[in-house]
Amino acid sequence: MDLENQKRVLNISEEFGAENVVVLLGAAEAEAAGLAAETVTNGDPTWAGPLAGVQLGLTVYHICEDEIKSEVDAGVYDEQVGMMEMVMDVPAIHEEMENIRSQYCKYL
């Protein structure tokens, strides 16, 4: 996750309280999604950004996970994500996200 985004996540968490923040990811691959999820939960694994060593433990999902998909209007979802869903390996992403959440999320 780039440094600017890390800074924004940190600021938002401080402003609204980490328990009130959900991070929604859109990365196209499980590995990339997992890295981003890890960053906002356990801290920046590359130790480069503002979240290095900061364990926010935020709730984090990928847009294509059923938990989120079911919350979105089906037409809007189809228009915005439908195409990418075909391209993405949704089960792999879900598995990776579950893995991160089970380890580091503090507010589930």
Partner 1 sequence: MNGYPVVKGAAYTLAATPSMVIYNGTTQTTERVVNPSSEYLVELPKHLRSYEDVISYIPNQVYIGNAHYDDLANTEFPYYDKKWEGAKEDGKFGCIMPEDEFYGVMHICDVFELVMLENSFAEQVKEKLAKREMFTEEQLESILKNNADQAELERLVNEEHSEGLYIDQTHLVGVVKRAHDVDVNLSAHVMLENLVSKASNVISLIELKKKNNFDPASVEYVIDCCEEACGDMNQRGGGNFAKAAAEIAGYPNATGSDVRGFCAGPAHAMLHAAALVKAGTFKNVVVTAGGCTAKLGMNGKDHVKKGLPILEDCIAGFSVLVSADDGVHPQIRTDIVGRHTISTGSAPQKVIGSLVGDPLKAAGLKITEIDKYAPELQNPDITKPAGAGDVPEANYKMIAALAVMNKDLDRSEIANFVKKHGMTGWAPTQGHIPSGVPYLGPLMDDCMSGKVHKAMIIGKGSLFLGRMTNLFDGVSFVVQANDGTVGGKSAAKKEVKVCKTANYYGTKIAFASEGSEHGQDNIDLAVELAAKKGIEAIVSEGETAHKEMEAALNDGTAQAAVTMHYPFPIGVSTVGKVITPARGKAMYIANTTGTSDTDRVSALVKNAIAGIIAAKADGVEHPTVGIANIDGARACEKALKKLKENGFDITFAESARADGGVEMRGNDLLLGTADVMVMDSLTGNLMMKMFSSYTTGGQYEAMGYGYGPGIGEGYDKLIMIVSRASGAPVIAGAMEYAANLVANDWKKIADETYAAAHAAGLDDILKASAPAKAAEAEAEEEDVPMPAKEVVTAAIPGIEVMDIDNAVKALWKAGIYAEGGMGCTGPIVQISEANKDKAVEILTKAGFIG
Nearer to partner 1, 79 or 95 (CB): 79
Task: Tell me which residues in 11-70 interact with partner 1 (CB under 8 A).
Answer: 28-29, 31-32, 35
Of 15-23, 36-44, 66-74, 75-83, the window that binds partner 1 (rule: CB under 8 A) is 75-83
Task: Tell me which residues in 76-105 interact with partner 1 (CB under 8 A).
Answer: 79-84, 86-87
Cβ–Cβ under 8 Å, residues 100 and 37 = yes
Q: How far is the CB of 107 from partner 1 (least distance, A)?
A: 28
Q: How far is the CB of 60 from partner 1 (least distance, A)?
A: 18
CA 12 to chain centre: 14
φ, ψ at 29 (rounded to 5°): -130, 150
SS3 content of the chain, % helix, strand, coil (to 5): 55, 5, 35
Q: How far is the CB of 46 from partner 1 (least distance, A)?
A: 9
Answer left, alpha or beta for residue 95, where phi above 0 means left and psi between -120 and 50 means alpha.
alpha
The two structure tokens encoding residue 61:
């999902």
Instruction: Name the site residues for partner 1 (rule: CB under 8 A).
Output: 28-29, 31-32, 35, 79-84, 86-87
